[in-house]
Structure 1
Amino acid sequence: MKIIIISFHKILYQGIIISIIAPGIYGYFQILKNHAPFISILRNGFLKLESKDIKKEIKIEGGVLQVKKNIIFVIL
């Protein structure tokens, strides 16, 4: 899956990942390949990204996440 994480001023991360775990309003959720189209408001917490080579955590203070056709957009 392709992911793009955007803040107000710049692109924070862009790449190919296997999964993402994100802090939704009602708790953390995971997105994997071929997930149905989905939009969620994010609360304070950590985005946990996993690719073939690395695991990365990004601290966030809320935002919006959208999944569509194996592309994930996160706007912080």
Structure 2
Amino acid sequence: MYLEIVSPEATLFSSEVDSVAVPGVNGEFQMLDNHAPIVSILKEGFVKISGNIEINEEVQDKFTKGDKGITLLKINSGTLEMKDNKAIILAD
């Protein structure tokens, strides 16, 4: 699946990933390839990206490496749209 994470300042991430887990307002949930279309509001927490990914050097300081090859991005809030195997996160 393709994941794009956009903040008010810049596009933070844009690449193919294995999965992504997000902090939805009704609880954390994960999306894999070909997930059903969904729109969700996100709350404060971590976006957890799984896959062999490369982070742009300009925004690398916003991401941290977690256990088992998971890459983490802390967000305050945001929205998510998953459609046609592409997830777009608008994050604060």
- Give the deviation of 1:9 after TM superposition: 1.4
Does the alignment pair 1:61 with 2:76?
Answer: yes
Unaligned runs of 5+ in 1: none
Normalised by the size of structure 2, how large is the TM-score? 0.79
Give 1 or 2: higher strand fraction: 1
Match in the other structure for 1:73: 88
Does the alignment pair 1:50 with 2:50?
Answer: yes
Q: Give CA deviations for 1:23-62 in whole Å, capped at 9, x if unaligned.
A: 0011100101111110000000000000146420000000
Amino acid at match of 1:69: D
Tell me how large the CA RMSD over aligned residues is. 1.1
Normalised by the size of structure 1, how large is the TM-score? 0.94
Give 1 or 2: higher helix fraction: 2
Give 1:1-76 correspondences, 5 Å limit.
1-52=1-52, 54-76=69-91
Amino acid at match of 1:11: T
Aligned pair count? 76
- State percent identity of aligned pairs: 36
Whole-Å Cα distance in 2 between the matches of residues 68 and 26 of structure 1? 20
Unaligned runs of 5+ in 2: 54-68
